[in-house]
Structure 1
Amino acid sequence: MSESVSISLPSHVPLYPLREIVAFPFMIFPLFLKDEELVSFEEMLGHEQLVVVVRIKEEPASGTPPLLWEIGTLCKVNQIYRLPEGGGKVVLEGLSRVRVEEMVAVEPFLQARCEPIHEFVEKSVVAEALVQSLNALLKIALSYGRPLPDDVMKMIDLIDNPARLADLVALYVNLPLDDQQRLLETIDPLERLKKVYMHLTAEVQRLQVKNEVQTEVTKRVGKSQKEYLLREQMKQIQEELGEDDSRSAELTDLKRKLEAAGMPSEVRKIADKEFRRLERINPASPEYTVSRTYLDYLAGMPWQNATTDNNDINQAEAVLDEDHYDLTKVKERILEYLAVRSLRERMKGPILCFVGPPGVGKTSLGKSIARALGRTFIRVSLGGMRDEAEIRGHRRTYIGALPGRIIQELYRCGSNNPVFMLDEVDKIGLDFRGDPASALLEVLDPEQNYTFTDHYLDVPFDLSHVMFITTANLLDPIPAALKDRMEVIQLSGYTDEEKEKIAVRYLIPKEVEENGLAKSPPAFATAAISKVIGDYTREAGVRNLQRSIASVCRKVAKEITQGKPPRETITPEVVEELLGPRKFFNEVAAEKDRSGVVTGLAWTESGGDIIFVEATRMKGKGELILTGSLGDVMKESARAALSFVRANAVEWGIDEAAFEGTDLHIHVPAGAIPKDGPSAGVTMATAIVSLLAGRLARRDVAMTGEISLTGRVLAIGGLKEKVLAARRAGVKKVVAPSRNRENLEEIPEEVRNELEFVFVDDVREAIAMALQ
């Protein structure tokens, strides 16, 4: 069974050419025209309101009609209305296909003689199968995200005419204009339906593949990949807008820094390899940040950057003298280094270790050395450091890995030859995380540190140009291997005269300035400074002296702000008024000579100090009682002293029976302070003889020395600090081992002139000197 559709046409039909659209039967579409085009279009229409639209095949030359396709569509004009902003809109509805037989007019508008195309619709099993398959494909396409208006889907479900269904589906399949024109020119409805079916099948296959890929990608793509896609889209958008790509600019800048860093060839190879890896990493990945930070450190390290040394020895000496008083040994060592540096340009930096009590200027001396040399100064405190990675850094495999403090500070200062101060090297800790002191062995060895390898950088860096300075209060806690790599320079405490000069030159001007007294600075009398030193401070350094001077300045500033007249001169009376009662007393001068109480000398971290060894006896079982927070070595010295006295009791008129049924008690006051060391042996022996022989001990005689069982007096350390403490306490005579006679040169001349020194080889000589 067949069915035909017939339409009658006028002899001449107005013709309108199309460029960007192919019109199909049953299709409703708009045309937007300008004002003049709209007027021409209205004049072109006849009473029937019919027009044939045909797609232009080739653009015409000027003055000639366009070349059109043979098959077009007869359309009915449903609506014409003008737009408020100008121009108009014409709504057309496709009726049927027509064949353009002949062009009959060009002016004032195109007219043609057209013949309607009669489409035979054959209803068969094949047609029904194609219609059903087409419906099914449309629904599959819709499920894959191909959008179709709801009314179109309802219309498709109701259409059973293959010709009309083919034309309707062709409108909603993404086909090029030429393919759409071929479908329009396909007269046979069944053939046209087959073509539409093939196009739709291809479209569904594309949608299916796209959906499968999208599903697979969604499974694999996480947050970082999503961000990467967005960044890539942003990059494309920025390129379209002509904006700079920030990542590209960042990598370009990093590459330029790597090229200008001046790193060695083997390091440059590693950096180039890491940079190529960085280019391939997704910026949103954590690995990108790790790699970028690593390259930043490589590019920022001072491989070739160095400051120019000031080789003017006289100028350097002037700088050191300006900042610090005395410290002759240290200044001499720095000037020696400069002298050699001026004669030999390529030399390894020295490794110095300043050892001395607190407050003598070890740390500030490092700053002065850097200023004298014209170098950058770096200070790192090692006190309490327990993790070896603080020195050598962490491996880059760890999250949050960083280089060690050595590399970090060199990176910050931008110079490969700074003065690098490692403060408090004697207070390094040790636990399960490693031993930082052992990690310093390579750093502080000029024979090894030219290839120092930090765990983070994992490439060698030359530390031989760095001038390392370490500071410590004690040498004993420093491991022997580390101590062997450093040149130790001892910094002793200051005498009262030196403290007075330091106060006048440095401390008073500084505190006057810092406490706002620069406009009307008070004058400190010499006696006032001496009173602060003697009555309010007892130390080897000058830290407490500075605090006391600052306290005086603050109180003067307070009086000024209260409207009181400013003090012009600070006298000893003013010092006592402002600082209150004296804190320290001359312990030796205030005491009388007593039996069994002997003055000794001790060395402490904060300098020297005097101690009193007291001995007494009571009925008992012949035991020796030791108190005063004594260490094991000091207890052994007491036993050795007692054994020596018992063995030679006859020499001092001591009865042997005095040791029987009697307990001896030796006590060292200031019991809360731990005491240890062998240098109190002579003092303890003298105290025991003084007690048992009943002879008074001179309080103005202080002694030090280690005792042996045969009575020999052995050498001790820290003689200068002990002598300075004796002088502060008012001692007149110092008894010391003969082997320490050479250390007398270290003691300032004004101190030597005030004290009487007696050097002994045997305890008997010391006892004879100390007892009346």
Structure 2
Amino acid sequence: MSNFDNQLYQNLMLGDYSGEGELIHLITDEDEESNTKEENFSTEIPILSVRNTVLFPGVVIPITVGRQRSIRLVKKAQKSDKLIGVCAQKNPNMEDPSWPDIYHVGTLAKIIKMIVLPDGNTTIIIQGKKRFEITEEVTEDPYFLAKVKYLEETFPKEDKEIEALEESLKDAAFKILQLNPEIPREAQVALDNIDNTPFLTHFLSSNINAPVEAKQKLLEINNGIERATLLLEFMMKDIQMLELKSEIQKKVHTDIDQQQRDYFLRQQMKVLQTELGEEGPEKEVEELRLKGKKKNWPADVSKHFEKELDKILRMNPSAAEYPIALNYAEVMVDLPWNEFTTDNFDLKRAKLILDKDHFGLDKVKDRIIEYLAVLKLKNDLKGPILCLYGPPGVGKTSLGRSIAKALGRKYVRMSLGGLHDEAEIRGHRKTYVGALPGKIVQNMKKAKSSNPVFVLDEIDKLSADFRGDPSSAFLEVLDPEQNNSFNDNYLEVEYDLSKVLFIATANALENIQPPLRDRMEMIEVTGYTMEEKVGIAKKHLLPKQRKEHGLKAKDINFSKDAIVKVIEDYTKESGVRNLERQLGKIIRHVAKSIAMEEEYQKKITPQMVRKILGGEVFDKEIYQDNSIAGVVTGLAWTSVGGEILFVEASISKGKGKLTLSGQLGEVMKESAMTAISYLRSKSEQLDIDHRVFDQYDLHIHVPAGAVPKDGPSAGITMLTAIASIYTQRKVKSNLAMTGEITLRGKVMPVGGIKEKILAAKRAGIKEIILCKRNHKDIEEIDDSYLKGLKFHFVDQVREVLDLALTDEMVSEPMKFKFDESPKQAVGS
């Protein structure tokens, strides 16, 4: 048997695996059941139950036994006649079967070899001898023991039907060998060597691709022709299945490239993931489908989403489009579709929140309360498009957060500063590499609500280049009549933005496209007065800075005079951003003293402010006096609020040349030329010697030459300065003015009135000259801003000069000297 032992696992015909071990079906030398005599076998034999296999006479198989009952049986038999009965289990999953759980027709087997494995299991190699039927169940313990009756097989020796069956069985077996490449080619040689029909049926019955129940049925048949016929029927079914499988494979088979190989490997991975309980592509899609069913989206969107999921399932997971399609579906399901937060209609509470968070800004607060009131009454209102414009640091952006808190809505903010790609608004086509939805849709996804307060910060800082014009893209977003069907290039379906409360912020309206400006409701957020800044510092800035620097209220105390000194001498702005920085410096100085356990003064006084912050940055009293001719105070608007500016004019003997300095823009240069032309035409009425225009050079300068200046605000200021220098009359003290002029002497209105008035108050101005048409702007300003100021509303330039120029000459008036034969003026 040594040669048989060496070749046992090499002469593999067919294989299977069961709980009892690996079954290897081999041809044996003793291939005729009839060679064994019944009288040689005992009628009371131990029974070994096996799983997932049926042993047939003449076949050799190895079995690994692990149950204690089976190990005891094998060891007992090995020491005696080495004969055991082998019966198949009805339920292969049963660990401890009893008599009703095993088939009562089995095969007597002889143990050829027993091997004890290192893991404690025992492997036996057995050979089937003769079929039997259990007639009496003797005992179950310590192993199955039964009385049996051996079954005879009726098989005619010489018969044409038998020959035909034998040939048919061999042909079917060879056909299976051809169709199934997994069976070793040596099996064909083994089949050629079998010339015994009964053993051929046993051998093929043991190795056909059929369940245990079918094999057991073949074992129980005594009539050899009947068994061979049924076996042939099973084999023909197997051949049909193999042919169908081969046909399908031929239809779908193409030359295997890298992609198909990857797909095959991924399919195997998918099966393994499923077995291990890990997520596969189908599970991801099903999870998205379940999320989609919970969405309250329109029918057309739902249909589109389902279509996208079906497309994903048809895709190869290794294809480049797969992650794009999956990401698209995830974006769609993560977006809020008709998912709204409940608005809080307690108007008194909303007003309290707005008043607590922001000092002043009454016009903005009133507009928000109005919106809430209408929404409360109607319960269905398209979100308005508000645009808060004003200088930096006045609280435009933070106001959006307070509005969200007052309404009980989600808050999102989108910074537009420097945005120059239209795709940032409308999104990219999803077919592009790295495609993303636009920032509008991205922020709606973050908000997880269809009606958030959406702040569009710095909308005036949008820029355009070859990638498109983002301002034009906003025309759809910010149109209440269109944004209920906003089209993002990435989404490909319409998205409703009509319930969003958009709040845009801007510093200068001039930089916003007129069509875009037309779609928004403009609300001016002006600069703060001294009193407002003191209130904001006490109520908001100081508590915030103390908290950020780890101090308590008892650690530091600011006097009102100290706050006023910081505002007047160390800040020059309409907002409070720089004021907060300066207060932070003082608080850090105190924090350092506390941390180093040094003595310090808890009450901050103006003297302490100067000691900590150093010398004053800005002069408290900017306006000086009117002792010099040709110096007039004007009012200007800048991006950081209003400020005063001086227009200085001087003349010198020359040829009527005009010089402009101070980095003036084109508009201011034109204003100067217009003023000179007007004065030339009205020289006699204004008591100006006409020769001065040709024999004296005029120089107009606006200080702070390093700062570019432009705008239609300095027309009357320049004209007054030139008139003052030509007439040598004093300009009225504590007077400032703003307005544009025409050649006919009309005074034109200008903008930024509130910021200019605040600048005048900071500089100590008492009187202001404005165009009559700016009177409406003054009516909209709170009386507290106007306290201590006197306004003169004019329509003609002559009125300006009458108000601005006094009859008093300057202390050292210039003495004009004219040539008798004046030369023609050069330059203008």
Q: TM-score, normalised by structure 1?
A: 0.78
* Equivalent runs, 1:217-228 vs 2, <5 Å: 218-219=256-257, 221-228=260-267
Deviation of the 1:659 alpha carbon: 2.3
Deviation of the 1:612 alpha carbon: 1.4
C-alpha contact 1:619 1:662 (8 A) present in aligned 2: yes
Other-structure match for 1:358? 392
Other-structure match for 1:123? none
Deviations 1:71-120 (A, max 9, x none): x99x99987899996989577799xxx999xxxxxx99999999xx9x99
Alignment equivalent of 2:494, drawn from 438, 460, 484:
460
CA distance in structure 2 between the partners assigned to 1:495 and 1:11 by the alignment: 121
Structure 2: which amino acid aligns with 1:227?
Answer: R
Asked if 1:770 corresponds to 2:805, the answer is: yes
Deviations 1:709-736 (A, max 9, x none): 1222221222221121122122232222
Other-structure match for 2:304? 270
C-alpha contact 2:273 2:279 (8 A) present in aligned 1: no
Most deviating of 214-223 and 397-406: 214-223
CA 1:560/1:764 → structure 2, altered by over 3 Å: closer, same or farther?
A: same
Asked if 1:306 corresponds to 2:340, the answer is: yes
C-alpha contact 1:15 1:52 (8 A) present in aligned 2: no
CA distance in structure 1 between the partners assigned to 2:146 and 2:263 by the alignment: 65
SS in 1 for 2:725: helix
Alignment equivalent of 2:721, drawn from 679, 683, 687:
687
C-alpha contact 2:649 2:722 (8 A) present in aligned 1: yes
C-alpha contact 1:443 1:463 (8 A) present in aligned 2: yes
C-alpha contact 1:12 1:112 (8 A) present in aligned 2: no
Structure 2: which amino acid aligns with 1:309?
Answer: D
Other-structure match for 2:779? 745
CA 1:232/1:668 → structure 2, altered by over 3 Å: closer, same or farther?
A: same
C-alpha contact 1:228 1:282 (8 A) present in aligned 2: no
SS in 1 for 2:648: strand
Deviation of the 1:654 alpha carbon: 3.0
CA 1:76/1:234 → structure 2, altered by over 3 Å: closer, same or farther?
A: closer
Deviation of the 1:580 alpha carbon: 0.7
Other-structure match for 2:826? none
SS in 2 for 1:742: helix
Asked if 1:371 corresponds to 2:405, the answer is: yes
CA 1:503/1:81 → structure 2, altered by over 3 Å: closer, same or farther?
A: closer
Structure 1: which amino acid aligns with 2:496?
Answer: D
Deviations 1:327-363 (A, max 9, x none): 1111111122222222211222221111111111111
Deviation of the 1:665 alpha carbon: 2.1
CA distance in structure 2 between the partners assigned to 1:335 and 1:450 by the alignment: 24
Asked if 1:429 corresponds to 2:463, the answer is: yes
Deviation of the 1:574 alpha carbon: 0.7
Structure 2: which amino acid aligns with 1:597?
Answer: V
Structure 2: which amino acid aligns with 1:574?
Answer: M
CA distance in structure 2 between the partners assigned to 1:374 and 1:86 by the alignment: 71
C-alpha contact 1:15 1:112 (8 A) present in aligned 2: no
CA distance in structure 1 between the partners assigned to 2:532 and 2:611 by the alignment: 25
Alignment equivalent of 2:375, drawn from 341, 358, 361:
341
Deviation of the 1:260 alpha carbon: 2.1
CA distance in structure 2 between the partners assigned to 1:54 and 1:644 by the alignment: 127
CA distance in structure 1 between the partners assigned to 2:553 and 2:790 by the alignment: 47
Structure 2: which amino acid aligns with 1:453?
Answer: N
CA 1:623/1:21 → structure 2, altered by over 3 Å: closer, same or farther?
A: same
Most deviating of 173-182 and 326-335: 173-182
Other-structure match for 1:516? 550
CA distance in structure 2 between the partners assigned to 1:296 and 1:205 by the alignment: 43
Asked if 1:548 corresponds to 2:582, the answer is: yes
CA 1:68/1:294 → structure 2, altered by over 3 Å: closer, same or farther?
A: closer
Other-structure match for 2:656? 622
State, as a whole percentage, how many aligned pairs show the same letter.
41
Deviations 1:50-72 (A, max 9, x none): x999999xxxxx9xxx9999xx9
Most deviating of 695-704 and 575-584: 695-704
CA distance in structure 2 between the partners assigned to 1:376 and 1:419 by the alignment: 6
Deviations 1:183-210 (A, max 9, x none): xx99xxxxxxxxxxx99x9999999989
CA 1:35/1:88 → structure 2, altered by over 3 Å: closer, same or farther?
A: farther
CA 1:577/1:228 → structure 2, altered by over 3 Å: closer, same or farther?
A: same
Most deviating of 443-452 and 77-86: 77-86
Structure 2: which amino acid aligns with 1:723?
Answer: I
Deviation of the 1:181 alpha carbon: 13
Structure 2: which amino acid aligns with 1:494?
Answer: Y
SS in 1 for 2:405: helix
SS in 2 for 1:629: coil
Other-structure match for 1:191? none
Other-structure match for 1:707? 741
CA distance in structure 1 between the partners assigned to 2:418 and 2:533 by the alignment: 31
Most deviating of 733-742 and 35-44: 35-44
> How many pairs were matched up?
719
Deviation of the 1:35 alpha carbon: 5.7
Structure 2: which amino acid aligns with 1:455?
Answer: N
CA distance in structure 1 between the partners assigned to 2:514 and 2:521 by the alignment: 13
Structure 1: which amino acid aligns with 2:442?
Answer: Q
CA distance in structure 1 between the partners assigned to 2:298 and 2:592 by the alignment: 61
Other-structure match for 2:708? 674
SS in 1 for 2:339: coil
Other-structure match for 1:383? 417
Structure 1: which amino acid aligns with 2:540?
Answer: Y
C-alpha contact 1:144 1:208 (8 A) present in aligned 2: no
CA 1:373/1:141 → structure 2, altered by over 3 Å: closer, same or farther?
A: closer
SS in 1 for 2:691: helix
Deviation of the 1:531 alpha carbon: 0.7
C-alpha contact 2:111 2:124 (8 A) present in aligned 1: no
CA 1:181/1:450 → structure 2, altered by over 3 Å: closer, same or farther?
A: closer
C-alpha contact 2:114 2:122 (8 A) present in aligned 1: no
Other-structure match for 1:258? 292
CA 1:602/1:162 → structure 2, altered by over 3 Å: closer, same or farther?
A: same
C-alpha contact 1:22 1:181 (8 A) present in aligned 2: no
Structure 1: which amino acid aligns with 2:805?
Answer: A
C-alpha contact 1:349 1:446 (8 A) present in aligned 2: yes
Deviation of the 1:511 alpha carbon: 1.7
Alignment equivalent of 1:500, drawn from 529, 534, 554:
534
CA 1:174/1:554 → structure 2, altered by over 3 Å: closer, same or farther?
A: same
Deviations 1:309-331 (A, max 9, x none): 22222222111111111111111
CA distance in structure 1 between the partners assigned to 2:389 and 2:283 by the alignment: 52
CA distance in structure 2 between the partners assigned to 1:579 and 1:750 by the alignment: 30
SS in 2 for 1:573: helix
C-alpha contact 1:13 1:111 (8 A) present in aligned 2: no
The answer for unaligned runs of 5 or more in structure 2 is 1-33, 48-52, 89-98, 133-144, 159-166, 226-235, 810-828
Other-structure match for 2:162? none
SS in 2 for 1:660: helix
CA distance in structure 1 between the partners assigned to 2:650 and 2:366 by the alignment: 50
Structure 1: which amino acid aligns with 2:797?
Answer: V
Deviations 1:139-189 (A, max 9, x none): x9899665468xx99x99xx999999x99x99998788899999xx99xxx
Deviations 1:511-552 (A, max 9, x none): 222222215242211111111111011111111111111111
CA distance in structure 1 between the partners assigned to 2:117 and 2:709 by the alignment: 107
CA distance in structure 1 between the partners assigned to 2:37 and 2:491 by the alignment: 90
Deviation of the 1:265 alpha carbon: 2.3
Deviation of the 1:657 alpha carbon: 2.4
Deviation of the 1:41 alpha carbon: 7.7
CA 1:15/1:540 → structure 2, altered by over 3 Å: closer, same or farther?
A: same
CA 1:20/1:318 → structure 2, altered by over 3 Å: closer, same or farther?
A: closer
The answer for unaligned runs of 5 or more in structure 1 is 1-6, 46-50, 57-61, 101-106, 121-129, 187-197
Other-structure match for 1:397? 431
CA distance in structure 1 between the partners assigned to 2:772 and 2:699 by the alignment: 30
C-alpha contact 2:105 2:220 (8 A) present in aligned 1: no
Deviation of the 1:695 alpha carbon: 3.1
CA distance in structure 1 between the partners assigned to 2:36 and 2:251 by the alignment: 52
Deviation of the 1:619 alpha carbon: 5.0
Other-structure match for 1:632? 666
CA distance in structure 2 between the partners assigned to 1:490 and 1:351 by the alignment: 14
C-alpha contact 1:78 1:93 (8 A) present in aligned 2: no
C-alpha contact 2:179 2:242 (8 A) present in aligned 1: no
Other-structure match for 2:161? none
Other-structure match for 2:699? 665
